[in-house]
Amino acid sequence: MAAQILDGKAMAQAIQQELAEQTAEYIQNTATVPTLAAVLAGDDPASDVYVRNKRKDCERVGMESVLHRLPAETSEDDLLALIAKLNKDQAVHGILVQLPLPKGIREQRILQAISPNKDVDAFHPENVGRLVQGRPRFVPCTPYGVQQLLIRCGIETAGKHAVVIGRSDIVGKPMAILLSARGAGGDATVTICHSRTADLAAHTRQADILVVAAGRPKMVTADMVKPGAVVVDVGIHRTEQGLVGDVDFDSVREVAGYITPVPGGVGPLTRAMLLLNTLTAARESLA
């Protein structure tokens, strides 16, 4: 029997509806509109699409979105000056710097310049440290979305063996932390695999929950998956055959118990969690 599809798009819409109600209540109680400042440097087409979609999401739930578009030749100092200005702006609750940045601008320096209280992507070292200690201010959006997907679909994680392919700061590492943390959507035993892992399939075939964030199209095939496993595909790639993920969906679907599609799986949930973090930032600003 083919795997059950985990519909991230439908779940994201439900979360957005919840956020719309919570945002309206927040505005009514505080006379303040939660505001996300997006910074887009350069002319990367994919980044432009991502930012446009995030701005539409903000509008859909009643939040304000302000776009700061900078040319590709923007200097690192100019970008830092803008971030410093946004850090001080009390009307701005969240700051999003869209990656990748133009050549010559050091990504780490830019992300560290964002105030931890407005770092709704949760990339700042202070927010990473809080996540590791189990007392997060914000949670990185993609792992947060995956965790919400598991919780809301009633997929048990406690005592399960979760395997994460990928060790990026954006997805792999925080995903492993969330899955192993105490509480809902956690308490799993976690294995992290990466490009230097020997015999990758031997590890993935042991996974009750397999989260794939490797950045390689269709790298996970049916023979790498434990029958009945939950397979979450974080990857997205534009190919001649259309959009595909890191998982060979058609073959793996015949083995797995649950699987996320690409598109329509993790992506919409990532954007929904950005809105949740922005509302959290607005609430925290009152304190």
How many Å apart are CA 11 and CA 232, to the nearest integer? 14
CA atoms within 13 A on the CB side of 200: 18
Tokens representing residue 218 in the block = 């269709």
How distant, in Å, are the alpha carbons of 67, 102, 120, 201 from that of 86?
A: 12, 20, 13, 46
Cross-strand pairs, 69: 40
How many Å apart are CA 165 and CA 193, to the nearest integer? 5
9 in catalytic set = no
188: DSSP letter: -
Query: For residues 191 and 203, is the Cβ–Cβ distance under 8 A?
Result: yes
85 in catalytic set = no
How many Å apart are CA 178 and CA 242, to the nearest integer? 31
Is it true that the peptide bond before 268 is cis, omega within 30 degrees of 0?
A: no
How many Å apart are CA 94 and CA 34, to the nearest integer? 8
57 in catalytic set = no
Of 57, 121, 208, 246, the catalytic one is 121
How many Å apart are CA 59 and CA 49, to the nearest integer? 16
Of 16, 54, 160, 226, the catalytic one is 54
How distant, in Å, are the alpha carbons of 43, 95, 99, 262 from that of 111?
A: 19, 10, 10, 28
Helix, strand or coil, per DSSP, at residue 145: helix
Is it true that the peptide bond before 263 is cis, omega within 30 degrees of 0?
A: yes
How many Å apart are CA 151 and CA 246, to the nearest integer? 22
The catalytic residue positions are: 54, 98, 121
